[in-house]
Amino acid sequence: MKEYILGVDIGGTTVKLGLFKSQGQLLEKWEIKTRKDHEGGYIIGDIVESLENKLDEKNISKENVLGVGIGVPGPVKDDGTVLKCVNLGWEVFNIVQEVNKLIKLPVRAGNDANLAALGEMWQGGGKGYKDIVMVTLGTGVGGGIVIDGKIIPGYHGAGGEIGHIKVSNDETECCGCGNKGCLEQYTSATGIVNLANKILKNEKIETMLRAFKHLSAKDIFDSANLGDKLALKLVDEYNANLGIALANISCVIDPEVFVIGGGVAQNGNALIENITKHFKDNAFHVLRNTKFELAKLGNDAGIYGAAKLIE
């Protein structure tokens, strides 16, 4: 019986790698640098070399390895075709074929946010559920959809791009995607800081937020917990935008649970309670009791999900 799975999560700065038992136990994790020079041409070779070195170090034969799962920070089609990955310098190519050619093991690939959702369903905050929507609240807003235990990547591999749902027709500034009024502009860590700085620049208002030289999302949430009026207003708008967006998503997906992760989710149960309130106020009546859970795997969710692709 093949006992092991290799999970890979490619990021813009580092590649996270994990050695798993086939039942989902993470035996060891490590990282290598993401070499983006030469249009990302070194990345695949570096990954394969690192995986083979780990198998040699652990004296594990490839005959005992089920395969390699890979998370990519961009759209990935079902057959492993990466539809460009700007952050890595990649154009269109088939990552499954390229990795398989070098490592001679079964390979599957998917979008990193979708795989994080799959990982949380398998061993994290979504464990015990089969239909989940994961929302990652960090520098940007990511998402992943899992229905009946399977990722829903969509035809173009862009399923779960929650951060680019349009929530405002009045926005004048562009989102990173090129559109205007995306959810990410209001409910990412970057977005809430940008909104705060705009108010601080244009309005004469007393607030402890002016004391921070380099304002962060954490500063805003902490100040709201201390009762600062502007911070409270910003956080309530943040929760309202997110709650309304998730209420709209629930009308299409009808998940058992929303799993909330990312750096902003460190605000914990208070964040969940506030999002849930706005969700209930806006959701279709039969969906109002949809559950919300915090993600549990942190930065390891991607390698768990990559491994689950193979399991």
Average pLDDT per consecutive 10 residues, the chain (311 residues; last block may be shorter): 93 94 94 93 96 97 96 89 87 95 95 92 95 91 92 84 92 90 93 93 92 93 94 94 96 96 81 93 96 94 95 77
CA distances (Å), origin 278, targets 145, 206, 212, 245: 21, 27, 29, 10
Two domains, one topology: 4-120+300-310 and 128-295: yes
CA neighbor of 125 nearest in space, from 259, 23, 250, 256: 259
Gap between the Cα atoms of 38 and 55, Å rounded: 28
Domain boundaries, the chain: 4-120+300-310, 128-295
How confident is the model at residue 28, as a pLDDT? Answer: 97
Which helix (H) or strand (E) segment is 94 a member of? Answer: strand 90-94
CA neighbor of 264 nearest in space, from 183, 169, 166: 183
CB 20 within 8 A of CB 27: yes
Q: Which CATH number applies to 4-120+300-310? A: 3.30.420.40
Token reading at 296: 């549990």
Strand order across the beta sheet in which 107-111 lies: 26-33, 14-21, 4-10, 65-72, 107-111
Superfamily for domain range 128-295: ATPase, nucleotide binding domain (3.30.420.40)
